[in-house]
Amino acid sequence: MVNYTSLSTNGQLSLLAGSSTGIDILTQVDIVLNCFLIHLLSLLGIVTNILNIIVLSKHSFQETTNILLLSLSVCDLLCSLFQPVRKVHCIAERFHPVFGLTLKSFTTVYFFLLPDIFVSVSILHTAVISAERLVAVCFPLHVSRIFTPCRVKWTILFIYVFSIGLLSPALFISEFTWVYDNSYNTTRGSVAMSRFYADHFRVLNEYASGVTPHLFISGPVMLILSCSVVTGLKLIFGRRRVLATMTTSATSKQTKDMKVVRMLLTVCAVNGAVAAPTVAIHLFLLYSNLLMLSTGLLTYVLRSLTIVIYQLIVTINFVFYVTMSSKFAKTLNKIFCVTQGKTIRIRQVG
């Protein structure tokens, strides 16, 4: 999430100010995270989520699960598109420091919030999916009545409006300005505190530290993990009863439903487990007085680590879809076969 407090500090306080070795290590970690790993994961996220969207769009929109997964893939694709934008300055700084600093300031003011919004939307999507699967396993006769396609679509719309509305104050906390930099003897772009942020400094900081992290990180992640644990236990200790009550169709249909439950349970459980360290990092940064007053390198690296973890989350779902859903894998294979056939025919005509 957006760190309001970083704009109010002068950056002089560093936890490792007296350790050149520690600073060197953190610098190398920073380069790996922001110059390489985040861009690699973003590229993979773009490719995998485009494939997710193509495959899922071939399936029925009358299934609530498909609606949720398609919306999740669109959200993850947007996150993957905007994530490298706010970190591209790391690469630019290696070739042209002044341009890199200007680019960093520009992306901080105008693009920094966008990936955070889509990460929040993605986590909330996963929370809804985990809750839907819990109801499907524990109350199979009521799931179709509770989670209708219309209600799911309205829920998705609410998630977007909710996330954008509650995170939008971050759009007004900073301004892009031009300053003269004595160290480079030239003018470059910089980030300045906005008048709105200065007038509401205390309220915005309390809101950023006490409200948004719990609404969009710790709360949803705890819900995902809790629902996943309960669903998993229900499947383990009541497998026969669940198979008997989930559907009155043939056994093959029951097995198919169980495969869907297992796939979605795996998606939710892995996403929740991967996101769990970010909860610890955010709580550590928010409630440690020293770090709250610091924009030192360690703080920056920890925040970069959470961004990389979030990008990993929005990238890995494709693996579970392909390996655990035969329907998804068959549709994907059919698309590739059709595309390959068209390519061969075009070459033959040419």
Average pLDDT, rounded, for the chain: 82
Residue position matching structure tokens 């920094």:
112
**Tens of pLDDT, residues 142-174:** 888 899 999 999 999 999 999 999 999 888 899
DSSP H or E segment with residue 186: strand 186-193
3-state SS, residue 174: strand
The DSSP call for residue 169 is G
The DSSP call for residue 148 is -
Structure tokens at 289: 């007085």
Cα(171)–Cα(229) distance, integer angstroms:
37
User: Which is more confident, 218 or 299?
Assistant: 218
Cα(350)–Cα(124) distance, integer angstroms:
49
CA distances from 329 to 72, 311, 326 (A): 18, 23, 5
Q: Which residues of 58-76 are buried (b: 16+ CB within 10 A; e: fewer)?
A: ebeeeebbbbbbbbbbbbb
Residue position matching structure tokens 């703080």:
299
**Tens of pLDDT, residues 180-235:** 988 888 999 999 989 999 998 889 888 887 888 888 988 999 999 999 999 888 88
**Tens of pLDDT, residues 242-291:** 455 555 444 555 555 677 778 888 888 888 888 888 888 877 777 665 44
326 C-beta neighbours (distance < 10 Å), count: 12
- Which among 260, 272, 271, 270 has a CA at the least distance from the CA of 328? 260
Residue position matching structure tokens 């954008």:
164
pTM higher than 0.95 for the full model?
Answer: no
Which amino acid would we find at residue 234? K
Q: Calculate what percentage of the chain has a pLDDT beyond 70.
A: 82
pLDDT at 315 over 60: yes
- Which among 233, 297, 344, 333 has a CA at the least distance from the CA of 19? 297
pLDDT at 3 over 70: no
